Structure formats: structure tokens, C-alpha cells
Amino acid sequence: MASVAELILFGGPILTMEFSHPRAEAIAIAGGCIVAVGSKDEVMVHAGPQTRRVDLQGRTLLPGFIDAHGHFTNALQVVKWANIQRPPAGPVTSIASLQQVLQEHVQANPLQPGQWLVAYGYDPDGLSDGRPLDKRDLDPLFPDNPLMLIHNSNHGAVLNSCALKLVGYDASTPDPAGGVIVRLPGSTEPAGLVMETAFIPLFVHMPKPSEEELLERFGDAQQLYLSQGITTAQDGATSAADLGLFQKAAQQGRLLLDLVLLPLVLEVPAMLRERFPDFHGGSLELPQPARDAFGTYHQHLKLQGIKLLVDGSPQGKTAFWSEPLLTPGPNGEANWRGQPLFPPEVLNDTVAQLAGQGLQMFAHCNGDAAISMMIEACRKAGLSPEQDHRTVIIHSQFMVPGQLEQYVELGLHPSFFTVHAFFYGDVHIANLGLERASWMSPMASAIALGLHCSNHNDFSVTPIEPMRMMETAMTRRSRSGVVLGEHERVDVNAALRALTIEAAWQIREEDSKGSLAVGKRADLVVLDHDPTALTPEELLSINVVATVKDGVCVYGDLAGAVAG
């Protein structure tokens, strides 16, 4: 006796991500799960008098996208900030358009006297004016409110005069070691842009939203993901304070999508002290109940593994490479190759401790030297593929020959960051030369070796754009049109799998998510076009029609027009 479906979808391409039957004609859903997927005849057996039948009218159905790596916490901040990124991530093309964006933001979110206005994504290269922004462009707008326009590197900001006064930067303030206060021409008066160690002190002046305010932002923050078809999001460096916030949000039933947390290793001792005050183990020794807390969803929230940071970012030149860059370091250093964030002996010990407790590791490694450090730590900890430990090397960005083979040997798997080709590809070529830059996110080689490869946006480092992830995995083309590593381009199916089934595998959810198969969660996305039928460039014009989580439409309209 076939179970009766609540919802049956048919009438458009259904891409299952299953090798045995990549396409289906219809899909039936009941109780939040897929009860049938296959030919229309097979699926319609599950139709009953109460079943809602939706004709896709040629639109394409896929498994909901899985955010393989990103920072949901940042979404809670960004939803209240003005987006001053350049196209395609934002609307700013000139100083005038930037000023207009700020004014529109303030019209929609009126400022109290003295209240901060924060914007993100400032990129001087995206301005047609031929000069960078300075405080004189900002002062006439809101003279009584401090303005902070965060640089797209997240390592600096442009301030207006009100903000400069608040932090106490004036003509008499020297540049701090490891930082710069940019000056107006011919004077020592600050121009507005402050970077690195001159930027960091700003944070003590920023207002701290209350917990209640943050909880109220969960709705808007999740819409950023759901509107792009993402049904599982990640907070990829959870702090002790944010863990409590997320648990409260889950308990209050605020989560519409599944949220995967990776506690940041540095925060683990604080989390344990707060939750297990009577437990006195080593600093990274987790009591059994804490270990048991990993891997299971409670009200859409789960802890999955521990996040390690091995180096910084390549565009900020804080990644760790084995060979020097062609350009000076972030503070003008010659022969700069970046540096690790942890001493190797600490990394070795951390990896051994976490692996010994069976905790899954997600290690941020951008440069090849950071990757080598992590490989060495995993080797010393005795990791092997047979243990099925699924250690994920987040970014695996600038690899060198031989490292992927070591991933295979140790059972490490990459989560790549291919949109770097577009957003930073030209910068990487300048810093590293075309040959080294072409090794970024070597997805085709990794797949050929049988590795499980996901792809991510690292939100809020780049915007949440599944279609750009696909496009860049397929073209690896920079803004200026240079292809970085032609032979590492992948086909559309591999690009899609990196956002679905492979991403599910990396968080141990391949049995419940990532493809359309009987018994899996009914996490779905409906697109207005079939991505497998378009050129890579055309992917960017695809729109999300609807997003379904556990069988319930949580964004757009299954039967309606294309959503906003």
C-alpha cells in the first residue's frame, strides 16, 4: 500500500544528483520527506484526494543547496548594514552612487542622533571616479552620525569626521605599528581610510546589539540564504557567546533552515567551562555529553565539528605560502609569504587531541604552507581514510602539486572557494603570477582522485550566490577575463554536486540530504531555468522560484511567478 503524498511536483526537469537515475519526471513528498521520485506513473501512485499537485511548468527542481562553508553570524550583522559593494555583489559604481546608497539606507532605517551607520564592501577599484573615497565625500551626508564603511578586505574602513573624532584620530595621531591612518594630501590630517591595527580599535566604539535584537534578525538573515535556494546554512567559526544565541533561536522556533555550527577551537574551552563547570579535563578534552552533542539536529540546529584556523586570507596577504609573493606584504614587507596563525607544535597537538576524541575537523587553510602544516599534523595524528574521519580542508585554495595525493592518503577532503577566480583572480595573478594562481581550488584534479569536493561562498566574504559558484567552477574566469587553470574547470554536474550531495557528505548528511531519493528530507529548490541546459555565463541569470524545507515552501511560491 503506497503512502499518500501531501505534495507531488511534476512537469519540469527534476535533477536528482543520483548517479543511477540523474533525472526524474515527478517527486512525491509526505511528512517532510521524499516518498517517491521517478517516472510520473511511479510517483502518481502516491496521489490521494488531499494531495496538492504542482505543475512545475518547465521549471527545474533540485535538492536544496547546502552551504558548505560560511558564517551565518555575519548575516545577523550584515542585514542591518548598507551594501556598498560593486557590481555584481552590490550597486556601487561611483562615489555619487555610493552616497545615494547610504542615503537610501538611512531613509529605510532612520538614524537616531549619534547612532552609527555601517556599510560593508567598499572597494576603491570599483569606483569610476579615478580616486578613492575620503571623509570629505561623507561629511555632508550625516555630519552628526559616525559612519564606518568597511573595506571589502574586512581589514579596514573609511570613516567620516564624526567617527574619526569619536575614536580620537587626528593630525597628531601617529600611524600605529602594523597599521595605517591614510592622510589628506600634503598634511597629516586623516583622510578617512584606516587599515589593520588602526582599524581594529573601532570595534569598542560600535554599538552591541542586544540579544533580543539579534534574535529578531534571524528572519531576515535566513531569507538571505533561502532566497538563493539554500536549505542548510553553516556558522563556520562559532564563538561561545553565539552558541547560546543560536540555541535560544532554535528553542524559540526561529530556524526555518537547518543550521550547522562549527565551534571555533579557540572558543571551545570557554564553551566547556560555561556548560560543564565541574568538568576538569585538558583544555581540549570534551566530556562525553559534549561529544555526544555533535552530529544531531535539535530544532534545526546541530554541532558538526571543530573549526581550526591555520592561516589568514590570500587577498589580504595573510595566508601562508611556501614561496614569497611577487608583491610586498600587507605592511610593505619584502619577500613576504605570510605566516601561520598557530605554531606547528600546537596544531599537531590540537589535531591529535580532536582526532583522538573522534571529533570531525574543519581546518581553514588558504596557502600551500598552511595546507602542508595541516597535512603534517594529520599524518602525525595517524589519520587514515579507513577511519572515515572526514576532515575537511576549508578553502584548500593555493595548493601545489602532490598535496591532493596526500589528501587521498590521509582521508582529507577539500571544500573549495572557486568564486575567488572572479572576485580576486586578477589580484592573485598580480601577487602570485599566473602559474601559481592557476592552482587555486583545483577541483577537477581533486575529483579525478576521487575526493569529495564541496564549494562555498564563505559568506560574508563573498555574497551567497550558488550560481556564481557553479559558473566559476566551470569557467575559472577573473573579472578581467583571464582563465585561472583551464584544466581545473569542471562540468555542470560536478559543479552542482559540489553544492548538494558532496556538501552533504562533508557534514555526514549524505543519507538524508543532497540528492532526491526516497527517505531523504524534502529540501528542494525550484529554479526558473535548467542549469544543465545553459552556458556557464547564462547561469548567472537563473532565478530561484521557490525554496522548500522539509516539504514546506519557505521562500517564493511553488506555483507562482518568479519571486522578487
Partner 1 sequence: MNASSPLAALNGVPATVVGGYLGSGKTTLINGWLQDPAHRRWAVLVNDLGSINVDAERLRRGDGRVLELTDGCVCCTLRDGLGAALLELARRPDPPAHVLIETSGMAIPERVAAQLQLHGLTLARTLLVVDLERIEALWADPWVGELVQQQFAGVDVLQFSKGDRLEPSVVAERRRWLEQRLVELSEHPLPPVHEERQLARSDLWLQQVPISRAQLRAWASNLPAEVLRVKGEVWLAETPEGPVRFDRVGDRIELASAPQRPWRSALQRRGQLVAISRATAPSPSWPLAA
Q: Which residues bind partner 1 (CB under 8 A)?
A: 71, 74, 77, 153-155, 165-168, 170-174, 176-179, 188, 197-205, 237, 239, 264-270, 282-284, 309, 312-313, 316, 318, 337, 339-346, 350, 364, 369, 373, 461
Query: Nearer to partner 1 by C-beta: 327 or 384?
Result: 327
CB of 396 to partner 1, least distance (A): 17
Whole-number minimum distance, CB 10 to partner 1, in Å? 44
Which of 364/413 has CB closer to partner 1? 364
Q: What is the largest CA-CA distance in the chain?
A: 84
Pick 179 or 536: Cβ nearer partner 1: 179
Q: Which is nearer to partner 1, 31 or 178 (CB)?
A: 178
CA-CA-CA-CA dihedral for 472, 478, 480, 481, to nearest 10: -60
Count Cβ neighbours within 10 Å for each residue of 271-300 and write b for 16 or more, e otherwise.
bbeeeeeeeeeeebbbeeebeeebbebeeb
CB atoms within 10 A of CB 110: 7
Nearer to partner 1, 134 or 235 (CB): 235
Q: How far is the CB of 16 from partner 1 (least distance, A)?
A: 35
Residues 6+ apart with CB under 8 A from 76: 214, 217, 218, 221
Task: Using alpha carbons, select from 295, 273, 269, 306 the residue that is nearest to residue 284.
Answer: 269
Closest distance to partner 1 from the beta carbon of 394 (Å)? 11
Secondary structure of residue 237 in the 3-state scheme: strand
Q: Which is nearer to partner 1, 77 or 445 (CB)?
A: 77
Q: How far apart are CA 112 and CA 213, in angstroms?
A: 16
Rounded least distance, CB 252 to partner 1, Å = 24
Nearer to partner 1 by Cβ, of 63 and 338: the residue is 338
CB of 460 to partner 1, least distance (A): 9
Distance between CA atoms of 413 and 391, rounded to whole angstroms?
6
> How long a stretch of residues is the chain?
564
Residue by residue, DSSP assigns 388-439 as ---EEEEE--B--TTHHHHHHHHTEEEEE-TTHHHHHHHHHHHHHHHHHHTT
CB 196 within 8 A of CB 330: yes
Compute the CA torsion angle 312, 318, 321, 325 (nearest 10 deg).
150
Query: Which of residues 458 and 471 has its CB atom nearest to partner 1 in the complex?
Result: 458
Residue 505 CB, nearest approach to partner 1 (Å): 25
Compute the least distance from the CB of residue 200 to partner 1, in Å. Answer: 5
Interior angle at CA 479, CA 473 and CA 484, nearest 5 = 45
